[in-house]
Amino acid sequence: MLVSRSPRASVSPYVMDVLAQVHARNPAEPEFHQAVEEVLESVDLVMDRRPDLVKARILERVVEPERVIMFRVPWQDDRGEVHVNRGFRIQMNSALGPYKGGLRFHRSVTLGVLKFLAFEQVFKNSLTTLAMGGGKGGSDFDPHGRSDNEVMRFCQSFMTELMRHVGPDTDVPAGDIGVGGREIGYLFGQYKRLRNEFTGVLTGKGLGWGGSLIRPEATGYGAVYFTAEMLATKNQSLEGKVCLVSGSGNVAQYTIEKLIALGAKAVTVSDSDGHIYDEAGIDREKLAFLMELKNVRRGRVRELSDRFKGCVFTPVDSSLGSNPLWTHRADCAFPSATQNEILEKDAANLVSGGVTAVAEGANMPCHPHAVRVLLDAGVLYAPGKAANAGGVATSGLEMAQNSARMSWPREQVDRELHTIMKSIHRACRETSAAYGVPGNYVHGANIAGFLKVADSMMDQGLV
């Protein structure tokens, strides 16, 4: 069901018709429907002014992936038992450049989840101002509890098929949930071996073999930079702000690192078992422990409460219907785990707990009903395609360095990242004002991202 985020009571019959087609042609893909509804509701504000886009059926084309690849991934575990997973790559839109977007390895991965992520990626990549189309891929493989050798064998089998469909000028995957530096290394090694090519086919590579400084940090840092820009519009800064962070992976870790650097205090982290609340704040020592725990030992956040007095662990309780993480008093929230982790009740809890800014480190972590609650309460709300675009933007910078066979210094990449996040923020603000919804970052991001893609599709003819 469409939940309006705009002052308009409803969307036009034309957009309703396109949405009905999306539902009919893509049954049982609720996350994809949700992502399309959000973008099309914003883009509806454009269509009155652009009959050329209606005539060329740009909306009908943009919701249809250019190509969907689905394949079998057989592999053997350490005991010699055979497993069969499913691999995917969604090549959604190449109007702006080679397909670009991460690979997700998680048991919840389905075609519909990856189509939602690929669709979001198209407009996110457009916002970065870099020449990147949108794609996404992954597998329902669950790396939790698997040995390094098992993960390597899985990655090799996955890449043995994927390598036919990707390449530095075609499609350049990166990491996402369950795919970090270790997995990118195994995937790159197999690609190189099969194609006999050392090219920038993946981003998020190790620093010694083509990776970019700041790429691991980029998504989290970028979300914090974006939030600082939002707060500045209210003459505020992050200094002294209490922040809720969910997740404990790549995005969460570097969000916390940058919050500490800017004088804010992150008081929570989580994984799928539960969350840690630490009133004193996660300082550099606790963050270093968390990074070692998650990136090396691959343990659970619960262990923070064994190691540090003051870290209180609360296990997940699905009977509650809401997540206690979002009930703690705070100024800002950075959902950085997964989609639909903030439901309507959680958003109400955030508002009553004093939160005035929410920046999505994860993709689509706020359910549409939650977004409505936040916007109605006047919360500064940054959708993922704007707030977490720093990761793919820095992937774009990694591609540029690979093409030039150069490595830029840390300060240069960080400066470029910061500039890009500021420019995305400006584009969202200016576009939302130009379309009569000032301060609405959802409409601003969707419309600004869409227009560049749509105009490029128009230029490139009916393909």
Q: Interface with ligand NDP by CB under 6 A: which residues?
A: 108, 175-178, 180, 219, 247-251, 271-272, 336-338, 361-363, 388, 391
Q: Name which of 15 and 109 has its Cβ closer to ligand NDP.
A: 109
Please report how close the Cβ of residue 248 comes to ligand NDP at its closest, in angstroms: 4
What's the CA gap between 60 and 40, in Å, rounded? 11
CB 190 within 8 A of CB 163: yes
Beta carbon nearer to ligand NDP, 42 or 125: 125
Residue 94 carries which side chain, given as an amino acid letter? S
Nearer CB in complex with ligand NDP: 212/219: 219
* CA separation for the pair 227, 243 (Å, rounded): 11
Residue 18 CB-half CA count within 13 A: 22
Q: Is 234 a catalytic site residue?
A: no
Joined together, the tokens standing for residue 164 give 């036919």
Angle between helices 284-295 and 250-261 (to 10 degrees): 170
- What are the tokens at 397? 């910078």
Cβ atoms of residues 6 and 395 within 8 Å: no
Nearest approach, Cβ of residue 272 and ligand NDP (Å): 3
Taking the CA atoms of residue 251, residue 370, residue 271 and residue 414 in that order, the dihedral angle to the nearest 10 degrees is 10
Confirm if 440 and 381 have CB atoms less than 8 A apart: no
**Residue 342, phi then psi, degrees to nearest 5:** -120, 110
Q: How far is the CB of 392 from ligand NDP (least distance, A)?
A: 6
Min dist. Cβ of residue 388 to ligand NDP (A): 4
**Complex with ligand NDP: residue 53 or 90, whichever CB lies closer:** 90
Min separation Cβ 455 and ligand NDP, Å = 25
Q: Which of 100, 115, 124, 136 is catalytic?
A: 136
46 versus 294: smaller Cβ distance to ligand NDP: 294
State the catalytic residues.
136
